[in-house]
Structure 1
């Protein structure tokens, strides 16, 4: 196993950081690494916003409800961005229809996500820890207003980065057989259910043995709780109001 794979396999979310700030060189290294990610048709349909203003951090933390939105070495927000492309076009109806399509929204979302994961790998290779922040979508319109985003740009998620104050345990992942199927989707429900049940038992042991927040829980029960309530249902209309994902 080489050093790159070891870095990937050692990933865990960090939610407690020291007070040490990232250097400009570290920040720029992460951004340059992000820029080397694959991008659909050379569009590079994303923008990364670094948040250093403490008032903005306070407002974003209030939206998130998570203290590490403020208490970190640096905070990034990754945005799907087709505004840059829009401004370079003739802005006729054909262009608008294309940019406002579901396909192009998927392109922008994937581009931003690939860039973010490259940035994460760069950060972790430098001994830093990270935590993705989907919680900035708890009030996506307010996040949008704080960042003063134009049409064709939407905030997807934040990324808190810094020096870990404490290393958390690595959380198990679904077995390979659950997520990798050959040639077609594995619709054998009995086989898949057996895989999930075995994973649930592993998760019980993980929560029972970890150093903090021990509890009795399974992956299946977490999914049932998560999808038994509807959250962030305002995101759909917000995306359309930003002139994306309309067709």
Structure 2
């Protein structure tokens, strides 16, 4: 074990923040760290919008499902998959710009890798973070609020700030459930879920003082009972992304 591994293994999502803005030095360290994440073929197909304006944060909080911590955090970051800049570079070289589903995947993955670097940088400075996937609840309205051009879409948000809570660590699957040597072993899938359901059942009971009696698989079944954010594909197509 070393300090980096200890930091990674102590991650918790923070959903309550003190009303303290980040310093310019903290923000710069987070963004520069995000930029140093791995990127496919050096395309760097992502952009980050940092939001500190109270009214814009209020708007985004509402669009993301009325999540109050979007307003409370010192800095709200929106990580965007960005082919707009790629298109501009190609056109500057007077070449045709071809994009497809692979291009969208590359941009989305680049944004995710950059975000995780940002999260680790923030936590190394004793700040807290929370990813906000709810930013995709109303992606067109979010895009308008942030003035995102065509071929840019908001992948997720991230609250960053000084923590005002000490939540417990959320249990994860046992390592043998997610790590396969040499080939995927599907024979252990159901037993891994059963074991994790026992762990999460106890976790939810303790976390809610006995008010919540559920398991991981029950929550997943509820989530995927119907299509999740089915509006995303038409939104992406309207933003100029080609899903082919």
TM-score by length of 1: 0.94
Superposition deviation, residue 159 in structure 1: 0.4
1:90 alignment partner, SS class:
helix
Flag structure 2 segments of 5+ consecutive residues without an equivalent: none
Contact 2:52 2:74 in 1 (8 A): no
Q: Please list, as runs of the form range in 1=range in 2, the aligned pairs for 1:1-247 lying within 5 A after superposition.
A: 1-64=1-64, 65-90=66-91, 95-96=96-97, 98-99=98-99, 101-188=100-187, 191-210=188-207, 214-247=211-244
Contact 1:139 1:232 in 2 (8 A): no
Flag structure 1 segments of 5+ consecutive residues without an equivalent: none
Contact 2:79 2:155 in 1 (8 A): yes
Aligned CA RMSD, in angstroms, stands at 1.7
TM-score by length of 2: 0.95
Tell me which stretches of 4 or more aligned residues in structure 1 moved more than 3 Å.
91-96, 211-214
Once residues 134 and 150 of structure 2 are traced to their aligned partners in structure 1, the CA distance between those partners, rounded to angstroms, is 21
Once residues 19 and 53 of structure 1 are traced to their aligned partners in structure 2, the CA distance between those partners, rounded to angstroms, is 13
Superposition deviation, residue 212 in structure 1: 6.5
Once residues 75 and 209 of structure 2 are traced to their aligned partners in structure 1, the CA distance between those partners, rounded to angstroms, is 25
Once residues 152 and 136 of structure 2 are traced to their aligned partners in structure 1, the CA distance between those partners, rounded to angstroms, is 14
Superposition deviation, residue 91 in structure 1: 7.8
- Report the count of equivalent residues: 243
Per-residue Cα deviation, 1:47-102 (whole angstroms, up to 9, x for no partner):
00001222211111111120011111110000000111111223899733x22x00
